Amino acid sequence: MADSIHLRTCPLCEAMCGLELQVTDGRVGTIRADRDDVWSKGHLCPKGTTIGHLHHDPDRLRVPMVREGDEWREVTWDEAFRRCEELIAQVRAQHGPAAMTTYIGNPVAHNFALGRGVGPFIGMAGFPTIYSAGTVDQWPKNVAAALMYGNMWSIPTIDLKRARHVVIMGGNPQASQGSLMACADVVGHLDRIRAEGGRVTVIDPRRTGTADHADEWIPIVPGTDALLLFAMVQVLFAEGLVDLGAVDGKVAGVDEVRRLAEPFTPEAVAATCQVPADTIRRLARDLAAAAPGALYGRIGLCNQEFGTLASWLVDVVNVLTGGFDSPGGMMWATPVVWTTASLPDPSFPNGYEFGRWRSRVRAIPEVLGQVPVSCLAEEIDTPGEGQIKLLITVAGNPVLSTPNAGRLDAALPQLDALICVDNWRNETTRHAHVILPGLSSLEQPHFDDLLWAFATGSAGRWSDPLFAPIDGRPDEYEILLRLGALCMGLPHEDLDVDGLDDAFITALCEMKGVDPAVVLAASAGRGAERLLDLTIRTGPFGDRYGEVPEGLALADFQAAPHGIDLGPMVPRAEEVVCTPSGMIELAPPYITADVGRLRARLDRPAEGLVLVSRRHLRSNNSWMHNVKVLVKGKDRCTLLIHPDDAARCGVADGAVATVRSEAGAVDVPVEVSDEMMPGVVSLPHGWGHGLPGTQLSVANEHAGVNSNLLAPADLYDPISNNAAVNGIPVEVAPA
């Protein structure tokens, strides 16, 4: 019998499922879906049932660790921060702030305290450059949103719950559960659309689990999506199908797009994309005729050579086919909370500009403040003025997750200081001088922030912590504030963390036009919880501390254990679009300048085999392979290859193949399957465990291979600086 039942939101992915946890004798037992959750309505996946395993994992770090040589020592929090102070002060004194940087990883977008602490951390630390998983992820979307709509986080998503016609390109929500499209049970919605007489199409080099829920699967040569999309645009203009719908009168650059699309007829691109011209015409006509519908593009379109053009063209097609900013089409969410990331960036007073500085070693111009994360290794291992000597990773595992992985793994031991805010000793953090672990997700509250900005509806849900943290343990909000202060040069001794937090909140109040005195007086406590209250109360549904009597505050969510539903998506172009012209910029010159490079792609001969990435429902990037129930059974780190390619390369199902690229080689078991289109092979990322010095007893037994050893540093989209981990030329041979 369970002692108690607890309700919580799963913090693992964008679906934000409501969970019901049974707790017996201080241990989490069965986890079920919370059927009454207003948002997820009873959806969950196998990962969500394992958050108890994550909490109880004996390998999870609960106390700070300091490394001397190969020896790891548990230390007190005071000692850990003193060691950080020593390391940071030394690098600051010898090399200056230019030698210090940070890498921000994916869980920051999902973790209650980290997500809210990362803004003040970066702000205080004043790093000249930062690195993040963003440049192996959604940077092309950020660039397109910045230039088309005026804010890098105003990324529109699909109003899936009311769409009747959906085209999915480079996304596999059956595995990922949706990305930049927060929705519980995406696949269930696809099934519903079809049952109601709508249509679902998947465009992907692999016949994915999502394609199993579609009317049609259209294979496409990796990296050629921008060509196909341009051809759709060409058809829309040539056949008089352009309809701006709800945003008519609010769009600039339509004629420029028409002119740019002219050479890209379906016949001109068909051979390169390996998609028949008739199919491309039909896609364009159907989308224009559908009411309502949208085209959705995700990571397969971002993590590729033409990431920005492809991501931009997804939005262009949506604007031109009449569904933009109207129900069932592409829309902006109305998030119940705002994130500090979405605030107007003071470094762009006159609209966005790029290339304000260049990376030291490869002289790559910055985009939205970042250069490709593949630069990190060379910035550490190349001597000279500005060489990186200190790195702080925040919930990231770049040794497995980023291109040029072999060089990064070799570079990290050359740092004077590596400080990792992380809960496990893994492939990256094994090189740390200090590891500062955060609380487990069950030891802290939860309420998502960034994810609501891409949600297919508005809602919010608060989760109480389930377990009390061990006495005196700081949460990650405090850890980040302290690290930011140390990087600024403030001493650890007697650091006034509360004062720093009050100053941060005061600055935010001023930006949002609320009286800081009222806010500080109204909020009990400090930290992430107070910031959440502020972002709810000054958000679109908030009470503005009494000004809006029917408005919401955190307390309202705390009184609603299954969450509060705030309704479907609504048209928002009027308030969202904040470009200098006030118009949706359909043809930003910075992006369209890249069209010549795309045109040249048409003349490139076929390149032999290319590698793409994939995800699995039971994995989460690199860090959940230590959960036994998720990794047991069939090996999932396999090379998927079409039977014809397997025969040509002489590799058989179940045998081990060597996959070789310009960057490196891995030996991996082969899985022959006609779910791959010929010419394309697929590996999952996030594997390659089993390295010395790690403390991952389960993952190390199911090591797999690190696919990013194959990703060359110089394969990236130069418009966004996003990595092209899809479309890597490889050779496959028997091992």
Ligand X SMILES: Nc1nc2c(c(=O)[nH]1)N[C@H]1C(S)=C(S)[C@@H](COP(=O)(O)OP(=O)(O)OC[C@H]3O[C@@H](n4cnc5c(=O)[nH]c(N)nc54)[C@H](O)[C@@H]3O)O[C@H]1N2
* Interface positions with ligand X (CB under 6 A): 13, 105-107, 111, 114, 133, 136-137, 169-173, 175-177, 179, 203-206, 208, 220, 222-223, 225, 298-301, 303-304, 395-398, 401, 421-424, 426, 438, 476, 612-615, 617, 619-623, 685-686, 707-708, 711, 725-727
Cα–Cα distance, 184 to 48 (Å, whole number): 12
Per-residue HEC secondary structure of 604-620 comes to CCCCCCEEEEECCCCCC
Cα–Cα distance, 344 to 398 (Å, whole number): 28
- Dig out the tokens for 268 from the structure: 């001109």
Nearest approach, Cβ of 222 to ligand SF4 (angstroms)? 26
Instruction: Spell out, one character per residue from 120 to 159, where the chain touches Mo ion: x when CB under 5 A holds, - when not.
Output: -----------------x----------------------
Cα–Cα distance, 60 to 473 (Å, whole number): 15
By a kind-dependent CB cut-off of 5 to 8 A, residue 334 interacts, out of Mo ion, ligand SF4, ligand X, none, with: none
Toward ligand SF4, which CB reaches closer, 54 or 380? Answer: 54
Going by C-alpha positions, the residue among 82, 97, 99, 7 that lies closest to residue 51 is: 7
By a kind-dependent CB cut-off of 5 to 8 A, residue 15 interacts, out of ligand X, Mo ion, ligand SF4, none, with: ligand SF4
Residue from 6, 7, 8, 15 that binds ligand SF4 (CB under 6 A)? 15
By a kind-dependent CB cut-off of 5 to 8 A, residue 592 interacts, out of Mo ion, ligand X, ligand SF4, none, with: none
What residue has token string 């069209």? 595
Stretch that binds ligand SF4, among 7-15, 265-273, 441-449, 456-464 (CB under 6 A): 7-15
In this structure, the number of other CB atoms found within 10 A of the CB of residue 75 comes to 16
Task: Indicate the helix (H) or strand (E) that contains 436.
Answer: strand 434-436
By a kind-dependent CB cut-off of 5 to 8 A, residue 234 interacts, out of Mo ion, ligand X, ligand SF4, none, with: none
Toward ligand SF4, which CB reaches closer, 9 or 304? Answer: 9
Residue nearest to ligand X (CB): 300
Cα–Cα distance, 329 to 641 (Å, whole number): 35
Nearest approach, Cβ of 449 to ligand X (angstroms)? 15
Nearest approach, Cβ of 576 to ligand X (angstroms)? 22
Toward Mo ion, which CB reaches closer, 55 or 618? Answer: 618
Residues facing 421 on adjacent strands:
394, 436
Cα–Cα distance, 25 to 67 (Å, whole number): 34
Nearest approach, Cβ of 243 to ligand X (angstroms)? 25
Toward ligand X, which CB reaches closer, 264 or 541? Answer: 264
- Cα dihedral: 592, 594, 595, 600 (round 10): 170
Toward Mo ion, which CB reaches closer, 137 or 378? Answer: 137
By a kind-dependent CB cut-off of 5 to 8 A, residue 16 interacts, out of ligand SF4, Mo ion, ligand X, none, with: ligand SF4
Stretch that binds ligand SF4, among 11-19, 343-351, 452-460, 502-510 (CB under 6 A): 11-19
Instruction: Please work out the total of residues on this chain that contact Mo ion, with binding judged by CB under 5 A.
Output: 1
Cα–Cα distance, 595 to 695 (Å, whole number): 47
Phi-psi region of 59 (alpha: psi -120 to 50; beta: other; left: phi over 0): alpha
In this structure, the number of other CB atoms found within 10 A of the CB of residue 516 comes to 17
By a kind-dependent CB cut-off of 5 to 8 A, residue 438 interacts, out of ligand X, ligand SF4, Mo ion, none, with: ligand X
Per-residue HEC secondary structure of 297-338 comes to ECHHHHCCCCHHHHHHHHHHHHHHECCCCCCCCEECCCCCCC
By a kind-dependent CB cut-off of 5 to 8 A, residue 708 interacts, out of ligand SF4, ligand X, Mo ion, none, with: ligand X
By a kind-dependent CB cut-off of 5 to 8 A, residue 44 interacts, out of ligand X, Mo ion, ligand SF4, none, with: ligand SF4
Toward ligand SF4, which CB reaches closer, 41 or 282? Answer: 41
In this structure, the number of other CB atoms found within 10 A of the CB of residue 253 comes to 20
Q: Is 14 in the site for Mo ion (CB under 5 A)?
A: no
Nearest approach, Cβ of 627 to ligand SF4 (angstroms)? 12
Pairing verdict, β 434-436 and 65-68? antiparallel
Cα–Cα distance, 61 to 77 (Å, whole number): 13
- Dig out the tokens for 290 from the structure: 């559908």
Cα–Cα distance, 601 to 580 (Å, whole number): 33
Stretch that binds ligand SF4, among 5-13, 127-135, 279-287, 525-533 (CB under 6 A): 5-13
Cα–Cα distance, 324 to 607 (Å, whole number): 36
Q: Is 466 in the site for ligand SF4 (CB under 6 A)?
A: no
Chain positions 170 to 209 lying near ligand SF4, rule: CB under 6 A, are 177
Toward ligand SF4, which CB reaches closer, 16 or 168? Answer: 16
Cα–Cα distance, 453 to 337 (Å, whole number): 8
393, 429 contact by CB (below 8 A): yes
Residue 585, amino acid: E
By a kind-dependent CB cut-off of 5 to 8 A, residue 170 interacts, out of ligand X, ligand SF4, Mo ion, none, with: ligand X
Q: Is 12 in the site for ligand SF4 (CB under 6 A)?
A: yes
- Dig out the tokens for 415 from the structure: 């740092």
Toward ligand SF4, which CB reaches closer, 10 or 713? Answer: 10
Cα–Cα distance, 118 to 393 (Å, whole number): 11
Cα–Cα distance, 268 to 241 (Å, whole number): 20
Pairing verdict, β 610-614 and 728-729? antiparallel
Toward ligand SF4, which CB reaches closer, 304 or 620? Answer: 620
Toward Mo ion, which CB reaches closer, 137 or 427? Answer: 137
453, 179 contact by CB (below 8 A): no
Instruction: Spell out, one character per residue from 26 to 65, where the chain touches ligand SF4: x when CB under 6 A holds, - when not.
Output: ------------------xx-xx-----------------
Toward ligand SF4, which CB reaches closer, 15 or 193? Answer: 15
Toward ligand X, which CB reaches closer, 13 or 584? Answer: 13
By a kind-dependent CB cut-off of 5 to 8 A, residue 304 interacts, out of ligand X, ligand SF4, Mo ion, none, with: ligand X
Most distant pair of Cα atoms in the chain: their distance? 72
Cα–Cα distance, 266 to 111 (Å, whole number): 44
Chain residues binding Mo ion by CB under 5 A are: 137
Interface with ligand SF4 (CB under 6 A): 10, 12-13, 15-17, 44-45, 47-48, 177
